[in-house]
Structure 1
Amino acid sequence: MKKRDLSHDDPSKQAKAPSTRRGRRRFALGALSALSSAMFAMGCSTFGSAATDALTASADGAGGAMTQARLELLFSERVDAIEGPSGAIRTKVDGITLYLISDPKNDRMRIIAPFKLVGRVDPRVIPVLLEANFQNTRDARYAISEGVIYAAFLHPISSLTPELIGSALDQVVSLVKTFGTSFSGGALPLGAPRGAER
Structure 2
Amino acid sequence: MKYLSAFLVLSLLLLTGCTKESKGDAIIKKVELTKFEEGLVNLTTDHSFIFDLEINNDEITEMIGTVDYYENGKLVRQVCKMSSGIQQENIDDTIRVAFIQQPVNENEDKWLISTMTDDGQTSGSFKNNIDGKERMKFGSTSEGVIEGPLIIGESKVIGAISYFVNGSSTFSIKTKEDIKRATDYEQVYLLSVELK
TM-score (norm 2): 0.25
TM-score (norm 1): 0.25
More strand by share: 2
Structure scoring higher RCO (CA < 8 A, sep ≥ 6) equals 2
